[in-house]
Amino acid sequence: MCTPCISGDGVFVTMAMRLYVLEKLKSPLRKIEYSIVGVRVCLKTEPHQKKDKQHSVFVEITFKKQDGVTKTPLVLSESNENLYAAIDTAMGKINCTIVDNKKQARLRHSALKRMITELV
């Protein structure tokens, strides 16, 4: 597995933040059955209004498909007033996206099997 690139834009990424993101990435990355090429996480802070700041998390996971050639990126961004809440929500959405894609692939595979058995 490759080492995730964690960077900050307007945020100084501390070791605690880096470890938190790495811990949250473990679950989604374990569920990807393909070869992971790269993982990029960008933490960003933007002054939203006078008092409030808006925190954003951008996550991009690139992996190779089964053919070994096609590189497919999974891209997601999430915003929240709390940086850690934005991280949690982004990782939860990535986890759900991966699980949904796996379910759809299984359904396509079972539909193909049914079509082949009906033809024979």
**At 41, which CATH number?**
3.30.160.100
Q: What percent of the chain has pLDDT over 90?
A: 12
Q: Which pLDDT score, from 0 to 100, does residue 63 have?
A: 79
What Cα–Cα distance (Å) separates residue 68 from each residue in 5, 15, 60, 64? 23, 34, 19, 6
| Contact present, 60 and 72 (Cβ < 8 Å) | no
User: pTM of the full predicted structure?
Assistant: 0.74
pLDDT at 98 over 90: no
Q: Residue 100: give the domain boundaries.
A: 5-119
Q: How many domains is the chain built from?
A: 1
Q: Which pLDDT score, from 0 to 100, does residue 20 have?
A: 92
- What is the pLDDT confidence band of residue 15, given thresholds at 50, 70 and 90? very high
Other CB atoms within 10 Å distance of the CB of residue 15? 7
**Which range has highest mean pLDDT (10-19, 50-59, 71-80)?**
10-19
